[in-house]
A = this chain, B = another copy of it.
């Protein structure tokens, strides 16, 4: 994509009301637009990052967990929430049908997925089964000051699993934990993200969060470096240490963190509410045991920005960088330089590299280099008159800041 065609621009200044670093950087670099507190639109560069994250998650859901993707509605009948006794929770957005009927906007989908399953499930042979979607959720947060970390409208992957036995559920839940840890590795935040024990509710001693270390995190976690797990502060006094190796609270390291995913045992709470039953091997009706597994796709995007930036701007991990390469053309008023840059752009695209090509001629070189650092694409190639005279180009890794001046051939080898 050519920067000259991109309708977004980087911004020097943005509204001071926006205090969250993730949103400030994403707004300045032209990835998102703020519609109101907690509500953002995703612009071309932002949507590319969102899709990259979504596709990494999707692949793990489809292939590793064998889950089936659906797209459930965002409009929900309020009566379903009366059945689960969640009709009074304060994060619901309420609305009404013309002609009568109370609705809420989906903040999660247990109230839709369970009646949906009830249409199809009949026998224990149909289980275990996992279905998921990647879809916008709506939560009427009283305060929304964390940029895209806590949106009133946000993109989420939500998976629901159904099982005939506790053993089957536990096996799936264990596998889901591993899959989640793999996902954070693939998203480039694996090193900072901890499986974290959290409050379990009625059906299980624990639920599990995935907490990414960050100074601006709303959560505090106690980390056990021996077991590579953590405990949410909310339950540390009940547990009094690491649930795996029995180290005491005092021996654990406390850190601030952002919750980048969570998985819950749901027991039969929702199956019971909708009278979901399957026949077991002996023909007896049983209520399936459920689990739910969430990752906020847009929240992960914001978390990555919080975890990976410097004074110059965003630093995308390669895995989610909106483009493979940012090609910065300097001195494009010189015909040979322009031709060289254009040829290189075509060449990279032919090799199936996605390229953001700064082909602007009405902007100074310094401005372009600053823009490239702000936008944070993981690899930069810089073309200029001086370099071209020596038959060289410059290659820069955004993360390390290291630069290398070398022949085009050897730089292209690096990118492959």
Interface residues of A (CB under 8 A from B): 5-9, 30, 33, 35-36, 39-44, 46-47, 50, 66, 68-77, 90-91, 93-99, 101, 103, 105, 112, 116-117, 119-121, 125-126, 129, 131, 136, 138, 140-143, 152-153, 362
Question: B73–A41 contact, CB under 8 A?
Answer: yes
Q: Which residues of B contact A119 (CB under 8 A)?
A: 33
Question: B98–A95 contact, CB under 8 A?
Answer: no
User: CA separation between A30 and B117, bound complex, in Å?
Assistant: 12
Q: Which residues of B contact A46 (CB under 8 A)?
A: 71
Question: B71–A7 contact, CB under 8 A?
Answer: no
Question: A6–B71 contact, CB under 8 A?
Answer: no
Give the Cβ gap from A304 to chain B, nearest Cβ, in Å: 18
Question: What 4 A-B pairs are tightest by C-beta distance, nearest first?
Answer: A41-B72, A42-B71, A44-B68, A93-B95
User: CA separation between A7 and B113, bound complex, in Å?
Assistant: 12
Q: Which residues of B contact A74 (CB under 8 A)?
A: 74, 136, 138, 153
* Listed A/B pairs (7) with beta-carbon separation below 8 Å: A7-B126, A9-B120, A33-B116, A39-B75, A75-B152, A99-B142, A99-B143
Decide: A50 near B75, CB < 8 A? Known: A41-B116, A93-B95: no
Besides the known contacts A42-B71, A95-B105, A98-B141, 9 further A-B residue pairs in the complex with CB atoms under 8 A apart: A7-B117, A9-B120, A33-B119, A35-B73, A35-B77, A36-B101, A43-B70, A74-B136, A75-B138
Q: Which residues of B contact A43 (CB under 8 A)?
A: 70
Q: Which residues of B contact A36 (CB under 8 A)?
A: 75, 77, 101
User: CA separation between A142 and B96, bound complex, in Å?
Assistant: 11
Closest B residue to A121 using CB positions:
B7
Copies in the complex: 2
Question: B41–A120 contact, CB under 8 A?
Answer: no
Q: Which residues of B contact A90 (CB under 8 A)?
A: 98
Closest B residue to A8 using CB positions:
B120
Give the Cβ gap from A36 to chain B, nearest Cβ, in Å: 6
Q: Which residues of B contact A98 (CB under 8 A)?
A: 90-91, 140-142
Closest B residue to A40 using CB positions:
B73
Contact of A73 among B117, B126, B153 (CB under 8 A): B153
Q: Which residues of B contact A7 (CB under 8 A)?
A: 68, 117, 120-121, 126, 129, 131
Question: A41–B8 contact, CB under 8 A?
Answer: no
Give the Cβ gap from A315 to chain B, nearest Cβ, in Å: 23
Question: A71–B95 contact, CB under 8 A?
Answer: no
Decide: A112 near B73, CB < 8 A? Known: A9-B120, A98-B90, A119-B33: no
Q: Which residues of B contact A30 (CB under 8 A)?
A: 120
Q: Which residues of B contact A105 (CB under 8 A)?
A: 95, 105
User: CA separation between A74 and B77, bound complex, in Å?
Assistant: 18
User: CA separation between A362 and B116, bound complex, in Å?
Assistant: 23
User: CA separation between A90 and B120, bound complex, in Å?
Assistant: 36
Question: B95–A39 contact, CB under 8 A?
Answer: no
User: CA separation between A50 and B362, bound complex, in Å?
Assistant: 42
Closest B residue to A127 using CB positions:
B7
Q: Which of A73, A93, A152, A153 has the most CB of B within 10 A?
A: A73
Give the Cβ gap from A69 to chain B, nearest Cβ, in Å: 6
Give the Cβ gap from A55 to chain B, nearest Cβ, in Å: 12
Q: Which residues of B contact A91 (CB under 8 A)?
A: 98
User: CA separation between A134 and B189, bound complex, in Å?
Assistant: 29
Question: A95–B95 contact, CB under 8 A?
Answer: yes
Question: A140–B72 contact, CB under 8 A?
Answer: no
Q: Which residues of B contact A116 (CB under 8 A)?
A: 33, 41
Question: B95–A94 contact, CB under 8 A?
Answer: yes
Give the Cβ gap from A190 to chain B, nearest Cβ, in Å: 26
Decide: A66 near B140, CB < 8 A? Known: A98-B90, A112-B41, A152-B97: no
Question: A70–B42 contact, CB under 8 A?
Answer: yes
